[in-house]
Amino acid sequence: MIGRNQGKSTVRRACAGVGLLAFAAALWTTPIAEAQPPDDPAPAEAPPEAVPPPADDEPDDPARVTAEVDDVRVVAGLREGLQVEAPNAAGFVFQTHFAAWFRYVVDAPVDFDAAHYFQVPLARPLLQVSVLDGMFELLFQPELAGTPRLLDLQLDMVIDPAFRVRIGQFRTPASRAFATPIILLQMPGRGVVSNQFRAGRDTGLMIFGTAGAFEYAVGIFNGSGINGRLGDTPAPMGVARFVLTPYGEVPYDQTPSLTTANPSGLAIGVDGWYRERDTAPPATPPQVVQTANGSVDVSLVEGPFAIFAEGHLRGQSLGGAPWGVSWGAFVQAGIFVVPQIFEISARGAWVDPDTDVDGDLVQTYDATLAGYLYVDDVAYGNHLKLMLRYRFADTVTGFGPLPSGSSHQVMTQIQLWL
């Protein structure tokens, strides 16, 4: 027999589910204004959970300010951003954060003069509101660097850790590298493989969750890409991801030892997506482009050491023509040689844009030194860090932002995450 409180909870969740589906239908049928895509579109930065009161043995953070008025608690700081909690007001929590990258880059193609420049490729405020003790979570994130544009507008309903529903425009779950928040990377960017093979952001509905050592995400999207930039699609895009963690959990964080003492875990993931879309004008008449992509990823974390590997296989057909095949893979590893302060990492990445063409392999090799702010026994981790990266790239005809031939790049990047 269902008790009165349990019955009310069931009715409330049922009504919420109906409202969520109605909102999904509205998002599906209402296009978002056209916007230019960023050079390296990135996922929503997963905000931290509301910050609990500091433990008795936790050192005082000189960059944190807290205030409490009645049942409302406000926290502001370098690590927390701005957070407002009102647990007695329907479990209300408001968070706002800001992330930015400041870069100085030297590009040196082998056969050309070196070029150097300063850039701010990332400037992102993030707002998140949760109510009913986290049952509903709304997230909004624009990109202000370059052409201002919408990145994420999503609503989550948390029915159970094993069953969550998300609707809106958000990052699709294919590719672990793409699912990892950009401010939690070991290096300045995800690399050529993730940029080439991920499905990117899209508008749709996704069901996801975690049950023990199993994680899943299954979604259906309109297939028109971030802010509808890919145009009309004759069919929805389907995306699925499944993960096993037989040896401890591996968070979507490439620097887990910054926040967890002696982390240890192994994650094995598989995912795939399929999309049909029309060719963009001036192609006349429009033809259907079919794309199928599958990938496998392995992540291992042990104390200060972390290694990540990911491989993709893609088939693509234009207007019913025979399928062309491409593949890409990378291996990346890093270790904190000074805990909480200094990390060394390296990555090798390879892409074959067309297996029917010989000699078109794209190769990049990166090495990065990263320093993290540590003051008076307070570790600020990814909230303020300095990176120095060297990259060697080799292509035949150029690939995306990479020039043809061999090239070198040295980059200094400061990351600020409030």
DSSP label of 13: H
Domain spans of the chain? 31-38+64-417
Contact 189, 178 (CB under 8 A): no
User: Residue 71: what are its φ and ψ, rounded to 5°?
Assistant: -100, 15
- Give the pLDDT band of residue 282 (cuts 50, 70, 90): low
Q: Is 361 helix (H, G, I), strand (E, B) or coil?
A: coil
Q: What are phi and psi of 369, to 5 degrees?
A: -110, 135
Give the pLDDT confidence score for residue 6 in this predicted structure: 40
For residue 346, what pLDDT is reported? 97
Rounded mean pLDDT of 288-310? Answer: 95
The residue ranges of DSSP E strands in 28-182, in sequence order, are: 64-69, 72-77, 81-86, 92-109, 115-131, 136-143, 149-160, 163-171
Average pLDDT for 96-117? 88
Q: For residue range 46-77, list pLDDT tens digits in order.
A: 333 333 444 445 566 777 888 888 888 888 88
8 Å CB contact between 346 and 333: yes
What is the DSSP-derived secondary structure letter of residue 213? T
Distance, in Å, from the CA atom of 373 to the CA atom of 356, rounded to the nearest integer, reads: 48
Q: State how beta strands 64-69 and 72-77 pair.
A: antiparallel
User: Residue 29 is which amino acid?
Assistant: T
The arrangement of secondary structure in 31-38+64-417, i.e. its CATH architecture, is Beta Barrel (2.40)
Better-scored residue on pLDDT, 230 or 306: 306
For residue 171, the number of C-alpha atoms closer than 13 Å in the C-beta half-sphere is: 22
Rounded CA gap, 76 and 90, in Å?
Answer: 22
Closest CA to 300 of 290, 311, 292, 308: 308
d(CA 10, CA 204): 25
For the segment 243-261, the average pLDDT, to the nearest whole number, is 92
Cis peptide before 285 (omega within 30 of 0): yes
**CB proximity list for 137: less than 8 A, separation 6 or greater:** 128, 129, 130, 155, 156, 158
Across-strand partners of 379?
374
**pLDDT of res. 284:** 66
Confidence grade of residue 80 (pLDDT, cut at 50, 70, 90): confident
pLDDT exceeding 90 applies to what percent of the chain?
A: 57
Chain mean position to CA 50: 20
Spatial separation of the C-alpha atoms in residues 415 and 417, rounded to whole Å: 7
pLDDT, one tens digit per residue, over 148-172 is: 999 999 999 999 999 999 999 999 9
> How far are the Cα atoms of 74, 108, 125, 265, 384 from residue 340, in angstroms, in the given order?
27, 32, 26, 19, 12
- pLDDT (0 to 100) of residue 77: 86
